[in-house]
Amino acid sequence: MSVPLTIAPTDPILSDPSVVILDASWLYEPDPPTRDAYEEFNAGPRFPGARFWSLDEVSEPHPDGYALMLPSPERFAKFAGDHGIERDSHVIVYDNEGVFAAPRTAWTFKVYGHEKVSVIDGGLPRARKEGVKLETGPPKAFGKTTYPVPTPTPSAVVEFPEITKIASRATPLDDQVVLIDARPASAYEAGHIPTSLSFDFPTALLTGQAKHDNGGASAKVQEFTYLREKDDLRKHLTEQIGEEAYKKIESGEATVVNTCGGGLSAAINWLQLQSLGIPSRLYDEVSVWVSTLPLLPVLLQRKRLLKALVACRPKYSPGADTQLDLRQ
């Protein structure tokens, strides 16, 4: 049985005891810096019965220290089993910013052939805004399972050699691939992979507000993101990448490759395209671009590439424990 890719926070399926709800919240720039997604999950509020899915822990360790990499099949299977997930479980994912980290988790499940996965559009803050009953206090206990080691879908992930080939084209529409950069427009304009088009996730998503009703003067308002309606999204996407490019991907004449600074915002665009019925792939190693400069003499013919590489680089120096600049 197929399941919808996105659901509303008021969907009755969320009260079905057979579904597995994952909180995949990941804090990009915690404010204050002491904020911790796991601690916030444990305290609540959260969706009843939710389990915390740590993007940092599930990501495959990289020898150069890059973060948020696609886990190996074995690592994914272990984490899925540790979270009580069966191969046929309906997994529902959300995060605490609306639409930010949850798409990355949903994409990971899809890469490994777990088709029954949904994202809560607007996540936890939209649930608060719409008066959904949430829970606080210690999370409910759950049992582990043995999740079979899956086989990844080869077409879902784009490898580095293909990116270098795409980047060496004369124009963005020279072949049957449309390369889309999910970073904010300002970062794209400062430098980007040659022949890529901009579909920046901050303007693609809509913004709402939800109140943290803790009582009295301590109540705060949080901005959150959610998806556009399909017709509005089609219009916005066409305006961003151009009518010719949109017609090519809508008709299936061209496939889409999503890129960003580290894998999160590219997955947001993957989710948006999927909602329009447009399949797409994701390049998971944009953050490694700088370390492979010696392998790209053909691309170095363009001075603007240097800016692109700097814009895509991780905040990393050998031996340092640092994180990627994912939104630039």
Domain ranges of the chain: 6-151, 155-312
Q: Would you state the pLDDT for residue 161?
A: 87
Q: Among 59, 37, 41, which Cα is nearest to 51's? A: 41
Q: What gap in Å lies between CA 59 and CA 57, rounded to an integer?
A: 6
Q: Is the pLDDT of residue 288 over 90?
A: no
Q: Among 264, 255, 79, which Cα is nearest to 158's? A: 255
Q: Is the pLDDT of residue 260 over 70?
A: yes
Give residue-wise pLDDT tens across range 93-110: 999 999 999 999 999 999
Q: Would you state the pLDDT for residue 218?
A: 60
Q: Is the pLDDT of residue 314 over 90?
A: no
Q: Is the pLDDT of residue 112 over 50?
A: yes
Mean pLDDT of 27-52: 90
With tokens 């665009």, the residue in question is: 269
Range with top average pLDDT, 31-35, 142-146, 285-289 = 142-146
Q: Is the pLDDT of residue 323 over 50?
A: no
What's the pLDDT band for 216 if we cut at 50, 70, 90? very low
Per-residue burial over 122-143, b if 16 or more Cβ lie within 10 Å, else e, is: bbbbbbbbeebeeeeeebeeee
Q: Is the pLDDT of residue 28 over 90?
A: no
Mean pLDDT of 319-323: 32
The angle at the Cα of 78, spanning 152 to 75, to the nearest 5 degrees, equals 50
Query: How many helices and strands, by DSSP H and E, does the chain display?
Result: 12, 12
Q: Three-class SS of residue 192?
A: coil
Whether residue 144 contacts residue 89, with contact meaning beta carbons closer than 8 Å, is answered with no
Q: Would you state the pLDDT for residue 13?
A: 98
CATH class for the domain made up of 155-312: alpha beta
Exposed, middle or buried: residue 29 (CB in 10 Å: 0-12, 13-18, 19+)?
Answer: exposed
pLDDT top residue among 287 and 320: 287
Q: Is the pLDDT of residue 300 over 60?
A: no
**Mean pLDDT estimate for the chain:** 86
Q: Is the pLDDT of residue 181 over 60?
A: yes
What's the predicted TM-score (pTM) here?
0.86
Q: Would you state the pLDDT for residue 308?
A: 45
- The two domains 6-151 and 155-312 share their CATH topology (first three levels equal): yes
Q: Would you state the pLDDT for residue 315?
A: 36
pLDDT top residue among 109 and 316: 109
Q: What architecture (CATH level 2) is domain 6-151?
A: 3-Layer(aba) Sandwich (3.40)
Exposed, middle or buried: residue 283 (CB in 10 Å: 0-12, 13-18, 19+)?
Answer: buried
Q: Would you state the pLDDT for residue 286?
A: 60
Q: Would you state the pLDDT for residue 64?
A: 64
Mean pLDDT of 264-279: 96
Which residues lie closer than 8 Å to 112 by C-beta, 6 or more apart? Answer: 73, 76, 150, 151, 152, 153
pLDDT top residue among 167 and 302: 167
* Residue 86 CB coordination number (10 Å): 17
Q: Would you state the pLDDT for residue 213?
A: 61
Pairing of strands 220-226, 206-212: antiparallel
Whether residue 102 contacts residue 24, with contact meaning beta carbons closer than 8 Å, is answered with yes
Cis peptide before 17 (omega within 30 of 0): no
Q: Is the pLDDT of residue 4 over 50?
A: yes
Q: What gap in Å lies between CA 183 and CA 196, rounded to an integer?
A: 11
Question: Which of the residue ranges 148-157, 214-223, 246-255, 258-267 would you say has the lowest mean pLDDT?
Answer: 214-223
